[in-house]
Structure 1
Amino acid sequence: MAAAQLRRSLTASLVRVAVLAALFALLFQCTVHPSSHPAKATATAADAAEAGMRQLLTRQAAAVLHRDRPAFLAAVDPRATGYLTRQRKVFDDLADVPLAAWSYRLVATGAFPLPPAADGTVRTAAQVELRYRLTGFDTQPVSATYYLTFAHRDGRWYVAGDDDGAAAGKHSAVELWDQGPVTVVRGRYSLVLGPGSVTALRRYADEADEAVPQVRHAWPDGWTGKVVVEVPGSLARMAALLGAEPADYRNFAAVTAGEAGGTATFHSDRVIINPEAFAGLSEFGRQTTLTHETTHVATRATTTANTPLWLSEGVADWTAYRTAGRTAREIAAELSTAVAAGRVPAALPADADFHATDAAALSRAYEGGWLACRMVADQWSPARLTDLYRAVAAGGSVDSHLRATLGLTLPAFTARWRAYLQQELA
């Protein structure tokens, strides 16, 4: 009996130990090991969400290239009625633009503050990069940044807006097709895009076609020998394309995108017209303006942050005016007036002078840069001018490159330029 009771007591004890061990193991699994699982689950959910958004962007990009309107609009949130209406129009307005490539890249999520949706829809604020190329003209893509709202509903993602980030200073880029239907005119060396008629845009194409051979004579290498010109409907729309304020470009008849900055990054250059200022130009002014801007397209590969504006703008004007058949006093009217009054500039134009809001001061800056480059071409040679331009772009001080190319220090070059102004303009 005692032995049996002992066996029963030992058995009960062993059972209790086993039960306690099982409970302890279960408790340990529930309270210790899963500490890393929420993070893994969150990461997995985030990865899945980003994968879904990337797939959506890939489908929408393919729809643009294949001109598939239903597929393009299927990516847009049907509840975002205002955005959906705008996207219908954007797709239609893009119809005639010759696209060689069009793609989106999801850069980041959480790109701007986005309050919860009233209906509980899951939403994500994203930064997205658009890259596209125009057939026959772009060897490198134009890249533009968009701040998009994505919505997840019923197991699928949609794009629900492109302006929710504006309050936080995150403005989506603007392209011509965001402003209305785009008319396309092809020239021999040019592609002109804008909202105007074919007749109106044909004149720009003809002028660009005349500009390209002039530029190729001065800059035969390092560019395609083609130019894309965009003609928006107003100064305000030009500024929107550049991600800038209209006042910044009021005094400019045209600019070359990439020179100007803004929200778009133009690896392939665009000459963008200010139609209000361009309309006031003479035929000579229109032609020299387009030749000037086309020179910026040609010299892009050899223009860097090291290149002072007196040299880059001066070379562009030298190319535009080299066969003009006009005197320096006729072309540099503002600087001529200053020199005649004894106000000879003490120094070459500074970069800030090319951003002057006063039209006369801005003209004097451009005229001074032009005459500096004209002096090099006249007193040395055009080849020496282009050698100087390329050398400066590579880095190092302007003074060192003037010494190596022309045999003059910067002060000596400046003194020679001041004498040249008096000789040509007084």
Structure 2
Amino acid sequence: MPPARRPVRLLVLALLLCGLPAGCAAPGAGAADAAVRRAVADWAAAPPARLAGIPLAGWSYEVSSVRRDGVRAFARAVLHYRLAGYDTAAADARREVELAGDGAGGWRVAADRPAPGAPPQLWDQGAVTAVRGAHALVLGVGQAPQTLSGIAAEADRAVPAVSAAWPRPWAGRLVVLVPGTLDAMAALLGQPADAYRGMGAVTTGRVGAGPAPADRVVINPEGYAGLSEAGRGIVLTHEVTHVATRAATSATTPLWLSEGFADWAAYRATDRTPAEAAPELARAVRRGELPGALPADGDFAFGGDPEALARSYEGAWLACRLIAAKWGDAALVRLYEEAGRAPLSVALDEGLGTDRGELTRLWREALREQLG
């Protein structure tokens, strides 16, 4: 074979082995991809102006792939960021960075947006206003500063109330996100709006031990605005309790215990009676519809019958209230911890010296006495 023709034959063979033309990179693609990655890294070193109000302690992109289309390039990446004073580890977000080429091998970032199928971040929805409280950082879009200040003040009251109910180490601080609308809230959470209609707030984050930097309380601005001052305090204290107990919560923790404990923490400093705080369950009991079992995990799913959902939350609260009244507040806290490490049957036996059947009997008896 003449030496001059060998590279041509090898190139043809390489193309045949590639199969589809899109599956192989053109000559110089590695250098071009490296230039795109450098451009993303350089751009990340100076976060966009729209983030100026957010106290960032870290901001970097981990590029996983690069796709070039003429003078444009698209980098898929994971954004790692921390909020100074609040996140103990980096929060993550899947992003797509679009870049424009200058024709001479250089690239500049033209857009940064959620990767296809990934939920947006709050700053994707508009300019972010930040308000700091003693224990909370409130970040809002499309909200009046006085609204955000009011939420920060409510969160500041909720944190010591939660620490009194949960006397275990936790950060004692939180981040609250306040989007502009219910639809914007649902978009942040990657769910349909109907899943959160009528709710005041929800909490996001990982379950289990270790840092949960993405633990955020997300406000439903429409539902929250319709609450009384006392109602707003109860909602935020409930959600802050989920933040505080996150490390002790696992897949073995039944929802009636995690949701009931959060309501117990929220109501324990109020003078609300069972009939006042559990109106849907009270009506059911008076109709002779005494529940036969503690609420199952599926009973807490949103988007179904709102009255049935309310009865599940109310029943869970009254179960935790019963445990605290009969065995003591400390016993309820220990039960929560044990239920995160072992099956409920084991947790009940070791924490309370009882079983599910006896607890259910006592709970139904309490419902009959307090709501009947």
Fold similarity call, TM over 0.5: yes
Contact 2:200–2:220 (Cα < 8 Å) also in 1: yes
Does residue 60 of structure 2 align to residue 103 of structure 1? Answer: yes
TM-fit CA distance, 1:52:
2.7
TM-fit CA distance, 1:180:
1.9
Measure, in 2, the Cα distance between the counterparts of 1:383 and 1:238: 36
Does residue 14 of structure 2 align to residue 57 of structure 1? Answer: no
**Other-structure match for 2:107:** 157
**Other-structure match for 2:273:** 327
**Other-structure match for 1:186:** 132
* Seq. identity, %: 45
Aligned amino acid, residue 181 of structure 2: S
Measure, in 1, the Cα distance between the counterparts of 2:39 and 2:352: 57
Measure, in 2, the Cα distance between the counterparts of 1:186 and 1:250: 27
Aligned amino acid, residue 143 of structure 1: D
Give the unaligned 5+ runs of structure 2: 19-23
Paired residue for 2:311, among 354, 360, 364? Answer: 364
Task: Tell me the secondary structure at the aligned position of residue 369 of structure 2.
Answer: helix
Query: Mean Cα displacement is larger for which, 30-39 or 135-144?
Result: 30-39
Aligned residue pairs: how many? 360
Offset from partner CA, 1:317-366 (integer Å, 9 cap, x none): 00000111121111111111111111111121122221243221111111
Task: Tell me the secondary structure at the aligned position of residue 183 of structure 1.
Answer: strand
Offset from partner CA, 1:355-405 (integer Å, 9 cap, x none): 2432211111111111111111111121111111112222x4212221221
* Closer/same/farther in 2, CA of residues 27 and 235 from structure 1, 3 Å limit: closer
Q: What TM-score, normalized to structure 2?
A: 0.87
Paired residue for 2:258, among 287, 291, 312? Answer: 312
Paired residue for 1:131, among 46, 56, 80? Answer: 80
Measure, in 2, the Cα distance between the counterparts of 1:204 and 1:33: 65
Measure, in 2, the Cα distance between the counterparts of 1:108 and 1:335: 53
Aligned amino acid, residue 386 of structure 1: V
Higher helix share: 1
Measure, in 2, the Cα distance between the counterparts of 1:351 and 1:286: 25
* Closer/same/farther in 2, CA of residues 216 and 272 from structure 1, 3 Å limit: same
Contact 1:257–1:266 (Cα < 8 Å) also in 2: no
Contact 1:162–1:172 (Cα < 8 Å) also in 2: no
Aligned CA-pair RMSD = 2.9
* Closer/same/farther in 2, CA of residues 54 and 415 from structure 1, 3 Å limit: farther
Give the unaligned 5+ runs of structure 1: 1-22, 65-90, 111-115
Please give the residue correspondences for 1:283-298 in structure 2 after superposition, counting only pairs within 5 Å: 283-298=229-244
Task: Tell me the secondary structure at the aligned position of residue 155 of structure 1.
Answer: coil
Aligned amino acid, residue 271 of structure 1: V
Task: Tell me the secondary structure at the aligned position of residue 167 of structure 2.
Answer: coil
Task: Tell me the secondary structure at the aligned position of residue 59 of structure 2.
Answer: strand
TM-fit CA distance, 1:277:
0.6
Does residue 180 of structure 2 align to residue 229 of structure 1? Answer: no
Measure, in 2, the Cα distance between the counterparts of 1:339 and 1:251: 24
Greater Rg by CA: 1
TM-fit CA distance, 1:60:
1.5
Aligned amino acid, residue 71 of structure 2: T
Aligned amino acid, residue 277 of structure 1: G
Paired residue for 1:255, among 180, 188, 202? Answer: 202
Offset from partner CA, 1:108-156 (integer Å, 9 cap, x none): 456xxxxx85xx43644x4311121112222122211113445554312
Does residue 156 of structure 2 align to residue 209 of structure 1? Answer: yes
Does residue 115 of structure 2 align to residue 177 of structure 1? Answer: no
Measure, in 1, the Cα distance between the counterparts of 2:129 and 2:366: 46
Aligned amino acid, residue 134 of structure 1: L
Please give the residue correspondences for 1:14-25 in structure 2 after superposition, counting only pairs within 5 Å: none
Contact 2:291–2:364 (Cα < 8 Å) also in 1: yes
